[in-house]
Amino acid sequence: MPNGPQLLQVAQVVPLVRARPLGNRVFDYLVPNELLDDVKVGALVRIPLGRQTVRGVVVGLGPSDTHTLLPDELRPIAAVMPDRVPEELIALARATANRFLASFASCLQLVVPPGRGAWRETKRRARMSWVVPAKGEGDPGVVTKLTEKQKALLAAIPPEGMQVSKACAAAGVGPSVIRALAKKGLVNLTAKPPLTACELGVRSDAGSLIPRFDSAATWPALNSEQEKAVQSLIDAYEEPGFSHRLLWGITGSGKTEVYLRLIARVMADGAGAILLVPEIALTPQIIERVKSRFGEQVGVLHSGLTPAQRIKEYNRICRGEAPIVVGARSAVFAPVPRLRLIIIDESHDPSYKQEEEPRYHARTVGKLRLGLRGGLLLEGSATPTVETLGEVSQPVRLTQRASGTQPLCEIVDMRRQGGATLLAPITRAALTEVLRRREQAIVLLNRRGYAGYVHCETCGHVMLCRQCELSLTYHRALGRLLCHHCGQSYPEPPLCPSCGRAALVRSAPGTERLDRELRDLVPFEQVFRLDSDVVTSGTRVQRVLEAFARARPGVLVGTQMVAKGHDFPEVTLVIVADADTGLYVPDFRAAERTFQLLTQVAGRAGRANRPGRVLVQTWNPDAPCIRMALARDEAAFYSAELNLRRKLGYPPFVELVRLVTAAKDPRRAELGAQYLAEKLGRHLGPGEVRGPARLPALKGMARWQLLVASRDGDRARDLVGRAVRVLEDAYRRRGVSLTVDVDPQSFL
């Protein structure tokens, strides 16, 4: 036989590694004869890469270029793993990578089956990342001998536990202190927090772990608006190709029942559906209703599942046993056979945008996925985004509550009512009356901690994080100043470190201070706090919500978490302690998010037979978004917002790409941003490149930002993508990182 060139069986493989220098590269590997029958598109394989053996996904067969290959030019695939990625999901990962300028490998990670595919990781010892206090009081002799750091750390850990990294940051100590406490038997280290029944996707009430299956005869009757909405959406679903609709219904209008009727129609066709919710732990009621209606045909996917639970649910979905999937953002990639419907509940919620690589938005991925195969993408919200309204010209409306009546909304002008306490006299009187009637109230303050910042009234100095150039928040329970961006904590100095002449003043009260103030009005056991400082896991969230649901009377106080889709029939009063918290942040969506938050939290009141009341405390009662939210003047707000954005050149009239350069050397970060702006400016029109502008340092890195705003989003993304591919390696060698965020939701 001649030894010249010969045809080889070659597979194109994408390594599943996080190394950004690999970018979107696809590597050719030789397929050994013994693996010819197993190596197909979508196969998970083990491949040599440098000196390592890593996972990869076969994305094509045959060489990636046209030149003739010799056997010694390629390295062979080492093994084929039992799981596969459906070709449809490979195409979706590729489309997502192209749309969001992310690496193909990072998007493939979103569709790779869980469990056995992670062959390298299973050999490693589980990382002990969760710390909980040991049961009991501990040996008194040991407790009295603790160092100050150990005492501070022990005091910072809540009963349900928290992440090791957060505990160390909160107490300002290193992991060695936690290990010392573990040796003394005062804390326990585990790999993950325990899950609640809600997180497992089952009912939380004892004795009913598997939801019952409701027959059609027991389904609640629809009102006339709901009937018209269901029929309109079924008509859209039955249209050939891809359809996109918005179900715009006021809070309490029965959107969930419309979703369930639409899912039932899809099931009748033998097709599948995905229902996305903002956060699993905060939306237990909708999951319970879906499982009650469709029983074991429902799968639940979210990040809190253990590996075994995730594998089980994934396999049920793949086999078609769970054609309905409920989950948070990443569930949009679930391997549902014959998928024809994706519903995005509370589609305005910013949690649908992922803030780390790959920075995708579930709404856009849903459009990409159904655009490949046809089907209906349905967004549901009482406060849709301006971008959605700019795209969907004729939303399906629900203007009546399914039960209860709209609450009475009132402004409390703090210029006249404000005083030494957070709650104005009229607000305190209303709360006292609700407690007297043994009803429930929700109090919103969208600011964590005891004081949002600490400053000196003599010289004006504000305490900033040394790593982030952002103000520190005082947490009274910890007795420390905490950075909410990097987690670093600092002791509170007795005097101003700048002038040394005066004590520091705590300003901008947060939920911790409001909680203490409420306990002067309400019995201790009837106040329930819901923010990320006290609810460090889904377990704790569920416990707080269940305890509040049972309390009569009861007060739920917290950040925006208290506004998310809760349905408590006995809530008759909603208080917004400070409506101005998000009004003047440097973000063109500030007015929209204030309008959404006020509308959503107001909708928690009066959802049953008792009338509801909403009191909104503000120092800016004439702010248009506040007035329109309380007047329920949606048409005026969205019209004004669309006109303003058209004038200023913001979405939905342009598409945005955000680029951030970061470096330890401030000058290099600045020069990197300036060069990038100059390079892009040569190919884009006037006003399409905005910046660069300096951002506050974050985690010790100086940062600069520029925005690309273009009416032609495809062209802008193509230009940015090409510029990044050319510059990324050169920037990295100079110690400059470059972050690309398509359709950004945050600008900090």
Q: What CATH number does the domain containing 105 carry?
A: 3.40.1440.60
Share of the chain above pLDDT 90, in %: 64
The confidence band for 122, taking pLDDT boundaries of 50, 70 and 90, is very low
* Closest by Cα among 268, 329, 328 to 294: 268
Grouping H, G, I as helix, E, B as strand and the rest as coil, residue 397 is strand
Look at residue 491 in the predicted model and tell me its pLDDT.
Answer: 93
| CB contact at 8 A, 675 and 692 | no
The confidence band for 142, taking pLDDT boundaries of 50, 70 and 90, is low
Residues 571, 435: one domain? yes
Which DSSP category does 187 fall into? E
Residues 115, 185: one domain? no
Residue after which a domain boundary falls, among 644, 679, 710: 644
Question: Is residue 499 in a domain?
Answer: no
| CB contact at 8 A, 90 and 57 | yes
Tell me: pLDDT of 438 over 70: yes
The confidence band for 533, taking pLDDT boundaries of 50, 70 and 90, is confident
Residues 286, 327: one domain? yes
Question: Is residue 207 in a domain?
Answer: no
What is the distance between the alpha carbons of residues 157 and 177, in angstroms, rounded to a whole number? 13
Tell me: pLDDT of 308 over 80: yes
438-462: average pLDDT: 93
Question: Is residue 205 in a domain?
Answer: no
Residues 706, 587: one domain? no
What is the distance between the alpha carbons of residues 329 and 316, in angstroms, rounded to a whole number? 19
Provide the edge-to-edge strand list for the sheet that holds 396-398.
298-301, 324-327, 272-276, 339-345, 375-381, 242-249, 396-398
Residues 555, 631: one domain? yes
What is the distance between the alpha carbons of residues 8 and 253, in angstroms, rounded to a whole number? 62
The count of structural domains within the chain is 6
CB atoms within 10 A of CB 502: 14
pLDDT digits (tens, 9 = 90+) for 592-616: 999 999 999 998 888 877 889 999 9
Radius of gyration of the chain (CA): 28
∠ CA 600-601-604 to the nearest 5 degrees? 100
Residue after which a domain boundary falls, among 174, 190, 206: 190
Residues 441, 570: one domain? yes
CB atoms within 10 A of CB 688: 20
pLDDT digits (tens, 9 = 90+) for 260-277: 999 999 999 999 999 999
Q: What is the pTM of this model?
A: 0.85
Residue whose token pair is 């979103």: 110
Question: Is residue 3 in a domain?
Answer: no
Residues 468, 520: one domain? no
Tell me: pLDDT of 115 over 90: no
Backbone angles phi, psi at 567, to 5 degrees: -125, 95
What is the distance between the alpha carbons of residues 187 and 168, in angstroms, rounded to a whole number? 13
Residues 383, 418: one domain? no
| E strands, 229-371, in order | 242-249, 272-276, 298-301, 324-327, 339-345
What is the distance between the alpha carbons of residues 379 and 395, in angstroms, rounded to a whole number? 10
Residues 381, 471: one domain? no
Q: Point out the least confidently predicted range of 377-391, 476-490, 538-552, 732-746.
A: 538-552
Grouping H, G, I as helix, E, B as strand and the rest as coil, residue 59 is strand
Number of continuous H segments (helices) and E segments (strands) in the chain: 21, 30
Element (H, E) at 251: none
Exposed, middle or buried, 209 (CB in 10 Å: 0-12/13-18/19+)?
A: exposed
Look at residue 176 in the predicted model and tell me its pLDDT.
Answer: 84
| CB contact at 8 A, 596 and 383 | yes
Tell me: pLDDT of 302 over 90: no
Look at residue 126 in the predicted model and tell me its pLDDT.
Answer: 45
- Average model confidence (pLDDT) across the chain: 87
The confidence band for 444, taking pLDDT boundaries of 50, 70 and 90, is very high
* Closest by Cα among 442, 387, 428 to 603: 442
Look at residue 187 in the predicted model and tell me its pLDDT.
Answer: 86
- Distances in Å between the Cα of 697 and the Cα atoms of 70, 96, 467, 677, 737 are 51, 30, 7, 20, 13
Look at residue 139 in the predicted model and tell me its pLDDT.
Answer: 56
Tell me: pLDDT of 505 over 80: yes
What is the distance between the alpha carbons of residues 74 and 87, in angstroms, rounded to a whole number? 25
pLDDT digits (tens, 9 = 90+) for 539-591: 678 788 889 989 899 999 999 888 887 888 899 999 999 999 988 888 999 99
Tell me: pLDDT of 536 over 80: no
| CB contact at 8 A, 376 and 243 | yes
Structure tokens at 176: 């060695």
Residues 391, 432: one domain? no
Q: At 423, which CATH number?
A: 3.40.50.300
Backbone angles phi, psi at 357, to 5 degrees: -60, 130
| CB contact at 8 A, 278 and 349 | yes
Question: Is residue 519 in a domain?
Answer: yes
The confidence band for 136, taking pLDDT boundaries of 50, 70 and 90, is low
| CB contact at 8 A, 520 and 423 | no
Q: Point out the least confidently predicted range of 391-405, 479-493, 532-546.
A: 532-546
Structure tokens at 642: 């669309």
Q: Point out the least confidently predicted range of 69-73, 80-84, 216-220, 404-408.
A: 69-73
384-390: average pLDDT: 94
162-177: average pLDDT: 81
Element (H, E) at 592: helix 590-602
Question: Is residue 501 in a domain?
Answer: no
Q: Which residue has the higher pLDDT, 282 or 328?
A: 328
Tell me: pLDDT of 645 over 70: yes
Look at residue 144 in the predicted model and tell me its pLDDT.
Answer: 60
Residues 529, 416: one domain? yes
730-747: average pLDDT: 95
Residue after which a domain boundary falls, among 72, 99, 123: 123
Residues 267, 337: one domain? yes
* Closest by Cα among 10, 13, 85, 80 to 45: 80
Look at residue 78 in the predicted model and tell me its pLDDT.
Answer: 93
The confidence band for 119, taking pLDDT boundaries of 50, 70 and 90, is very low
The confidence band for 42, taking pLDDT boundaries of 50, 70 and 90, is very high
Look at residue 191 in the predicted model and tell me its pLDDT.
Answer: 63
Contacts of 644 (CB under 8 A, 6+ apart): none
Tell me: pLDDT of 1 over 60: no
The confidence band for 159, taking pLDDT boundaries of 50, 70 and 90, is confident
Question: Is residue 659 in a domain?
Answer: yes
Q: Which residue has the higher pLDDT, 623 or 155?
A: 623
Q: Identify residue 96 by its one-letter amino acid code.
A: T
Look at residue 620 in the predicted model and tell me its pLDDT.
Answer: 94
Question: Is residue 202 in a domain?
Answer: no
**Residue 365 structural domain:** 216-398
Look at residue 123 in the predicted model and tell me its pLDDT.
Answer: 35
